[in-house]
Amino acid sequence: MRHERSKELFSRAQKVIPGGVNSPVRAFKGVGGQPVFIAKAEGSAIWDVDGNRYIDFVGSWGPMILGHAHPEVVQAAKNAIDRGSSYGAPTEAEVKLAELIVERVASVEKVRLVSSGTEATMSAIRVARGFTGRDDIVKFEGCYHGHADYLLAKAGSGVATFDLPDSPGVPSDFTKHTLTIPYNDVDAVRRLFEERGKDIACIILEPVTGNAGVIPPAPGFLEALREITKKHGALLIFDEVMTGFRLHSGGAQALYGLDPDLSAFGKIVGGGMPLAAYGGRADIMNRVAPEGPIYQAGTLSGNPCAVAAGHATLQQLAAPGTYERLDQISKRITDGLAAAMSEAEQVGRIQRVGSMFTLFFNDGSPLRNFADVKKADHAKFGRFFHGMLERGVYFPPSGYEAVFVSLAHTDEDIERTLEAARAVLTAL
């Protein structure tokens, strides 16, 4: 494939945009090389500015569960923008989307719309702190919850650490109340709460990690977190920015049969537009301004175009058999990839939950936490990524990310993807 136009644009972009990209993972730092610049997308495919076509397994990092430019979603957004792009005032559409979220997610009685996943998680944590009157929060290694200052903490060693900031520009004081422990380690959680439970406002986690690659919760892990937080008067927050409405119509919490106190949603809930949400029990959400004293606001929150796209997407996902079909498509792909790895005598592991999966090049052992993921062969993944890209298949440009399957992926897409994988894996 030829990439002259992408190279030219990347050179221009680096002069005016930090790193040439508006979000770091797009720069291909995790796999080497230079990014391709996208010109358009439709269904399961994207085209770059040089005219190359790719089967897309990034899906804008999760939102495009219906495929790109789905006609119903596009028309809903067009109809909305024809009436004006923003009002800064309440709309009926906001109410309808909020009602739909409350209807779908059993734990959510009230919900507030915002504009990004970072906004949703940072707001949920603020509400948890305000509701409990406590300062400390618990997060898990490898679970990314946006770029709020106090969430940019390095993964610590031992049972728990007051972590140093993971980015210059974040004062140490901003993360001193952030406690980080390994994912799937119930014993570490119990010990931490026995020591500091009276100071902990909440646990926040991805119920299925996607930002460290796909790591499912160990049996009993989520249930233990629910029991521990209730015992100590802390809140349990599920960050479903990635998993919400992807793994189940009621989110990962419905898949695993749990009710967190608060939840954050993004990506799919906005239909690919800048929209997110947080919500939960009414007695907690009633503390949010203007009903209560915990302040949170946003000029573009509930943007009419984003609300329309999100509502249309959730309506499409309500069709009978939707999630069963997604699971079948995803299983065909991962079963085929596993067979291709075996045929090529490549050792590794594919971890999948629903329509999210990650291919790890490791010794074949299950990956239970971020430390396991860091031990995988990410250089080999980089070679795999570029081999697939040159054969017209666009995987996430990092071994720490999830692959996203959409309803638009066809039998032909699957066969082409597996054919490319067989060739690449044999050549590695």
Q: Which of 56, 163, 185, 239 is catalytic?
A: 239
38-42 vs 45-48, strand pairing mode: antiparallel
Read off the tokens for 255. 């898949």
How far is CA 69 from its chain centroid?
20
Q: How far is CA 108 from CA 104, 121, 294, in A?
A: 9, 15, 18
Reading the block at residue 321, the tokens are: 């058999």
User: Is 256 marked active-site?
Assistant: no
Pair type for strands 200-205 and 178-181: unpaired
Active-site residue identified among 48, 54, 110, 144: 144
Per the annotation, the verdict on 96 as an active-site residue is no
CA distance linking residue 88 with residue 96, whole number of Å: 17
For strand 200-205 and strand 136-140, is the pairing parallel, antiparallel, or unpaired?
parallel
Which of 32, 39, 30 minimizes the C-alpha distance to 9? 39
At residue 211, the 3 state secondary structure works out as strand
Contact of 351 with 357, CB cutoff 8 Å: yes
Using CB atoms within 10 A of its CB, is residue 263 exposed (0-12), middle (13-18) or buried (19+)?
A: buried
323 belongs to the catalytic site: no
What is the rounded distance in angstroms from the CA atom of residue 182 to the CA atom of residue 113?
31
Three-state DSSP state, 280: strand
> In the 8-state DSSP scheme, what is residue 241?
T
| Burial class of 377 by CB neighbour count within 10 A (0 to 12, 13 to 18, 19+) | middle
- DSSP category for residue 344: T
Angle between helix axes 304-317 and 322-343 (nearest 10 degrees) is 80
* Identified catalytic residue from 54, 267, 323, 413: 267
Contact 368, 218 (CB under 8 A): yes
For the chain, the maximum distance between any two Cα atoms, rounded to a whole number of angstroms, is: 61
CA distance 314 to 307: 11
For residue 8, CA distances in Å to 18, 81, 325, 334 come to 16, 33, 40, 35
What does each C-alpha distance from 383 to 30, 124, 147, 426 come to in angstroms? 11, 39, 29, 12
Using alpha carbons, list the distances in angstroms from residue 4 to 27, 50, 52. 16, 7, 11
Active site positions, annotated: 144, 239, 267
